[in-house]
Amino acid sequence: MHYRVLGKTGVKVSEIGFGAWVIGTSMYGDLDREYSVRLIKTALDLGVNVFDTADMYGDGLSEKMLDGLVGLAGLCLVTGLAWEEPHVHTWLESQ
């Protein structure tokens, strides 16, 4: 895996990231929890350290599944949230 420094942060991130949009959903086939976990483990084994998720991915399941990665050394977890104003306020207040 090749890595680059993220801006001026000094953080090294993999050139390939893991997009977790479909984790735990049936949008693109049946990606059950077991298969999703195998995908995440394979990405980690291959040196991926950038994981993209958001509260709306898999209706929140994506973030829940990646929660176990929080705290891993060198991990860069990129997240976002839906732009519906009431939803944004609720999410921010829950943090």
Point out the residues that are catalytic.
57
**Tokens representing residue 4 in the block:** 């680059």
Q: How far apart are CA 49 and CA 71, in angstroms?
A: 12
Q: How far apart are CA 18 and CA 93, in angstroms?
A: 28
**Tokens representing residue 65 in the block:** 């599944």
